[in-house]
Amino acid sequence: MNKKVIGFAGSILSSVLWLSVLTAQAQNLVNPKTEAKITALIKKMTLAEKVGMLHANSSFTSAGVKQLGIPELVTSDGPHGVRLEHGRGWTPLKNVNDAGTYLPTGNALAATWNPKLGYDFGAVLGSEAKFRGKDVILGPGINIIRSPLNGRNFEYQSEDPYLIAQMAVGYIKGVQDQGVSASLKHFAANNEEVDRGTVNVEMSERALREIYLPGFEAAVKKGQVNTVMGAYNKFRGQYATENKYLINDILKGEWGFKGLVMSDWGAVHNTMEALENGTDLEMGSDLGTPPLKYSQFFLGDTVITLVKNGKVPITLIDDKVRRILRVMFKTNMIGAKRTVGAYNTKAHQQTALKVAEEGIVLLKNEDNVLPLAKEKIKSIAIIGQNADRENAMGGGSSQVKAKYEITPLHGIKNLLGNGVNVQYAQGYKIARNGQADSALINEAVKIATKADATVIFCGWTHGYDYKKWDDNAYDAEGVDKPDMDMPFGQNELIKAVLKANPNTIIVLMGGGPIDVREWVGKSKAIIEGWYPGMEGGTALAKVIFGEVNPSGKLPMTFPKKLEDSPAHKLGEFPGVNGVVHYKEDIFVGYRYFDTYKVEPQFPFGHGLSYTTFYYENAAIQRTGDKQVTASVTLKNTGKRDGAEVVQFYVEPINPRVSRPRKELKGFQKVFLKAGETKTIKVVLNKDAFSYYDEKKKTWVADNGKYLIAIGNSSKDIQVSKELVL
Ligand code: BGC
């Protein structure tokens, strides 16, 4: 087969698998035949063997029972690539084949608003995890982006539970269709990093149900995820990983989750609470100086004694072992053979590229400064350390050793070839307490003045030393950003360069919102590039030069200033004296900005294109009890092919209870050739109209009037239609 045919066959296969997501139910974790096999296995196990399976026996593994054919369970981070090899300890191994595909990070994926790409993304991870001998990939991370400052926002997806649910289900199916497990994390309410190991999160039941849980629920019920990772923080006074309400009552009770709950690394604090409240596997506890004695874990030898003394029933232990075995049977770890998976294939790299291309968001484009016309450019100034910085190894546990990483500077050079003079100036210096450096700024201004076009790559960074997990970092585990201001004097740089060339294109990189007020009014073109993965530089170059028509949409609101963000306005981030009250309640992200009429810098769902789209003929058809099908006709009225994300928001008119002005309840990414027209339909069932009634402890869809608002962002509603439910 030639390359083209293979590529085509690959894309057919991916589409067929994706269709199976939409039509078929995934194999459930429980089926009578395997349950009988599991019962037989458990009967043969000694107490010590059972307990051995409930805790780690190395940094990323937990024990099996060799003589019974039960292998070790091998886990690996994590959300956007298979982590480098640690062997059994914490020191990265040398001379191993562990440089793989580095995908764009979570919020770049969410910005594609393309669940099919979520599936493809997951499939790459699953396939590479399998190739590397991993059984569980520790992702996706789907915690709500509550504040722009959370150091781990880059790994997460969105402020909106509906968007998260759509993307997470795709991702999980993608991973698990490869025959390995995903691990959904961090359950639940892990929305800040700085004090993640101790903070107690207090929120209303309504906020929990409407905002913080729906993504997890969809991942369990629709995504059929095999494993869930408990979070570090406390929830209503009890650690999340051993939280009765979250794990026993909701996850395993209400949602009927039959798989295994593992702790986050070091998130178990108490043997009895963990045993009784749903933790099945304890990972990563810190027992002081190595060598670690894994038998001393909370779920180690103590448990043997407790069972022997009659303090803990063996049935409780058996249930945990059963859950682990279910996952093992489902993923062909016992009595079956796995296929090998694939590593570093061209197709995987192409998926990384595609996600980056579709996730990049064009925030502003006055006077059609973008795209740049390649044929008209003889010289270009590329400015900013982020233009030539690799990010794969940054950020903490999600670090990936990338096979290669195309930085923006590389990508632009590759695209332009030899005929164009590409000049680079660092512009600012990523360094601890780094301030504006006038020599670097002058050098940048100098090249900008002479060039035909100028692009600045600026924004966030994982840490000062990108290869380390740096406790003074910005987008990284264990830290939160101090504010929304770009560090290292980047604002000064941008202002100076904009003066020299008002058409300068500004590309923001990193894990989300930045305060751009100092220069936004003077800039004409702004792009959000996130952490776009190993092919990110290629994708950015293609967007800048118009080879790709941007179609990404913001998965979170960009506030003008930090204090506009509800958690910060209320002084509730990161909390006081170890407690954080989510006083903004259900008004997270655009739900707040919209309802309380606070003007964002860039709204949720926003993202421009190089073509234009026209919306017409909004219509609503009743298709069931409290269910309608909403439709709209979309026309690509510009000269370029392009994609639009048609967003359907439900707006209750005069609701009986306090509700957000409107909420996203459906969307579709539509690719249209120039001049093409298509009708888009979305089913809105009872869930789309419901709120959580705390008194009745259930979801309620009140009768009454609703507006179905259809548009291309939460603020840019193009057409709408009223209905009476
Ligand atoms: C992180 C998890 C990660 C685990 C294992 C923890 O610190 O919070 O997301 O999967 O480490 O590396």
Q: Which atom of ligand 1 is nearest to the CA of 139?
A: 10
Asked if 172 and 218 count as a contact pair (C-beta separation under 8 A), the reply is no
Q: Would you please indicate which residues are annotated as catalytic (active-site) residues?
A: 264
Counting atoms of ligand 1 from 1, which one is nearest the CA of 60? 5
Q: What's residue 287's pLDDT?
A: 77
Q: Is the pLDDT of residue 12 over 90?
A: no
Ligand 1: distance of its center to the CA of 719 in Å?
44
For 352, half-sphere exposure in the C-beta direction (CA atoms, 13 angstrom radius) is 31
If one residue of 134, 154, 265, 469 were mutated to test the ligand 1 pocket, choosing by the most ligand atoms within 8 A of its CB, it would be: 265
Query: Residue 297: is its pLDDT beyond 60?
Result: yes
What confidence score (pLDDT) does residue 288 get?
75
Question: DSSP per residue over 708-719, as a string?
Answer: EEEESSSS-EEE
d(CA 323, CA 335) in angstroms, rounded, equals: 17
Average pLDDT over residues 44-65: 97
**Residue 483 φ/ψ, nearest 5 degrees:** -165, -170
Give the pLDDT confidence score for residue 386 in this predicted structure: 98
Q: Are 171 and 122 in contact (CB under 8 A)?
A: yes
What span, in angstroms and rounded, lies between the C-alpha atoms of 387 and 426?
8
Query: Residue 674 Cα, ligand 1 centroid: separation in angstroms?
Result: 45
Residue 20 has pLDDT above 80, yes or no: no
Closest-CA residue, ligand 1 atom 11, reads 265
59, 75, 77, 80: which to mutate for ligand 1, most atoms within 8 A of CB? 77
Ligand 1 binding residues, C-beta < 6 A: 77-78, 138, 185, 264-265, 397, 477
Work out which ligand 1 atom sits closest to the CA atom of 196.
8
Q: Give me the amino acid identity at 370.
A: L
pTM (two decimals): 0.96
Q: Which of 84, 125, 239, 397 to mutate for ligand 1's pocket (most ligand atoms within 8 Å of CB)?
A: 397
* In the predicted structure, residue 663 carries a pLDDT above the cut 70: yes
CA distance 46 to 117: 45
- Residues 705-717 have a mean pLDDT of 98
Instruction: Tell me which residue has its CA closest to atom 12 in ligand 1.
Output: 397
Look at the block and give the residue holding tokens 């493809």.
120
Domain boundaries, the chain: 44-78+105-330, 346-588, 613-724
Which atom of ligand 1 sits closest to the CA of residue 78? Answer: 10
Residue 322 pLDDT: 98
pLDDT band at 433 (very low <50, low <70, confident <90, very high): confident
Question: Kind and range of the H or E element at 649?
Answer: strand 642-652
Model confidence pLDDT, tens digit, residues 329-383: 999 999 999 999 999 999 999 999 999 999 999 999 999 999 999 999 999 999 9
Q: Whose CA is nearest to atom 6 of ligand 1?
A: 265
In tens, the pLDDT along 626-636 reads 999 999 999 99
Mean pLDDT, range 655-682, rounded to an integer: 98
Nearest CA residue ID for atom 4, ligand 1: 265
Q: What class has domain 613-724?
A: mainly beta
Lowest-confidence region among 6-10, 102-106, 274-278, 504-508: 6-10
The rounded Å distance from CA 385 to ligand 1 centre is 28
Q: What are the tens digits of pLDDT across the range 241-282? A: 999 999 999 999 999 999 999 999 999 999 999 999 999 999
Q: Is the pLDDT of residue 401 over 60?
A: yes
**What ligand 1 atom has the least distance to the C-alpha of 155?**
9
Q: What is the pLDDT of residue 268?
A: 98
Query: What number is the average pLDDT over the span 46-71?
Result: 97
For ligand 1, the distance from its centroid to the CA atom of residue 283, given in whole angstroms, is 10
Report, at the CATH architecture level, how domain 346-588 is classified: 3-Layer(aba) Sandwich (3.40)
The pick from 58, 153, 192, 264 for probing ligand 1's pocket by mutation, whose C-beta has the most ligand atoms within 8 angstroms, reads 264
How far does the centroid of ligand 1 lie from the alpha carbon of residue 672, in Å? 41
User: Token digits for 630?
Assistant: 């909403």
- The CATH number, out of the four listed (3.20.20.300, 3.30.559.10, 3.40.50.150, 3.90.400.10), of the domain defined by the range 44-78+105-330: 3.20.20.300
Report how far ligand 1's centroid is from the alpha carbon of 192 (Å): 14
pLDDT confidence band for 1 (50 / 70 / 90):
very low
* 4 pLDDT higher than 50: no
> Residue 90 has what pLDDT?
87
Give all strands (DSSP E) within 531-584, no chain letters: 579-581
453 — pLDDT class (breaks 50, 70, 90): very high
Q: Which atom of ligand 1 is nearest to the CA of 396?
A: 7
Which residue has a Cα nearest atom 7 of ligand 1? 265
Q: Which residue's CA is the nearest one to ligand 1's atom 3?
A: 397
The closest-lying atom of ligand 1 relative to the alpha carbon of residue 232 is: 8
Burial per residue of 427-450, b for 16 or more beta-carbon CB atoms within 10 angstroms, e otherwise = bbebeeeeebbeebbebbbebbee
| C-alpha atoms less than 13 angstroms from C-alpha of 191 in its C-beta half-sphere | 28
**What's the gap in Å between 265 CA and the centre of ligand 1?**
6
| Cβ partners under 8 Å of residue 25, min gap 6 | 224
pLDDT given at position 14: 56
pLDDT in tens, 454-500: 999 999 999 987 667 676 799 999 999 999 999 999 999 999 999 99
Ligand 1: centre distance to CA 216 (Å): 18
Say what the pLDDT of residue 465 is: 78
What's the gap in Å between 267 CA and the centre of ligand 1? 10
243 vs 251: CA distance, rounded Å: 10
- Confidence band, pLDDT 50/70/90 cuts, at residue 291: low
Is the pLDDT assigned to residue 568 strictly greater than 50?
Answer: yes
Per-residue pLDDT, averaged over 714-724, amounts to 98
Phi, psi dihedrals of residue 649, rounded to the nearest 5°: -110, 140
> What separation in Å is there between the alpha carbon of 77 and the centre of ligand 1?
7
Nearest ligand 1 atom to the CA of 141 is 9
Percent of the chain with pLDDT strictly greater than 70: 95
Q: What are phi and psi of 403, to 5 degrees?
A: -60, -40
Name the band, by pLDDT with cuts 50, 70 and 90, for residue 450.
very high
